[in-house]
Amino acid sequence: MSRLEIERTLWQEGFRRVMGLDEVGRGCLAGPVVAAGVILDPNNPIEGIQDSKKLSLSERLRLSKEIKKKALYWTIQEGDLAMIDRLNILWASLETMNSCATSTGANSDYLLVDGNRYVPTLLAHQCIVKGDRKSASIGAASIIAKVYRDELMASLHLEFPEYGWDNNVGYPTNAHRQALKKYGYTPVHRTSFSLGTTKARSFKL
């Protein structure tokens, strides 16, 4: 299936500002969750968009620049640690994606959301499991969100080099867990961790 098949159907139905939404960093122990929204231009195609995790770093960087240049609209939003601890990581992720959809200038008329859940909204939308592999709009969002968050965590690594965020970008690798045992938490570690339930719980090392 073409990664633009869903978008083409919606464009033919009269929708003009179809926004793809995706987030990165949901499973991390440190740093914000980051969401992105992208509205592609039907008349300005971008070749090579797919799941950001399947692309090399150079491909992601190149595509991120091209997406930002050619898209009708794009936005990146952060869900900070306070939001994550208050809502839990699932709902913080959904709310951060919603911030993209409702950001100034977006004027989205249809949303394509990665995953199987979204916040209640009056905007027409559909949730697509593994959407970054099936929708170019969602794939584009996954690319610019990952590039942004990876660069953010690399900058935080300079301040807290013990945790290896230049490599693990905050995910719970063995090295990251061992550093937590040795050095303790930083101000950018999440003090609670949710596995998708409504109740946050402390993560265990």
For domain 5-150, the CATH superfamily is: Ribonuclease H-like superfamily/Ribonuclease H (3.30.420.10)
Distance CA 22, CA 53 (A): 13
**pTM for the whole structure:** 0.91
Q: What is the pLDDT of residues 44-77, one digit of tens each?
A: 999 999 889 889 999 999 999 999 999 999 999 9
Q: What is the pLDDT of residues 128-165, one digit of tens each?
A: 999 999 999 999 999 999 999 999 999 999 999 999 99
Mean pLDDT on 84-106: 95
Ordered strands of the 33-39 beta sheet = 73-79, 33-39, 18-24, 110-114, 125-128
Quick check: 2 pLDDT over 80? no
- Give the pLDDT score at 193: 53
Q: Where exactly are the structural domains of the chain?
A: 5-150
H-helix segments, 44-200: 57-70, 81-87, 89-101, 131-134, 136-159, 165-168, 174-183
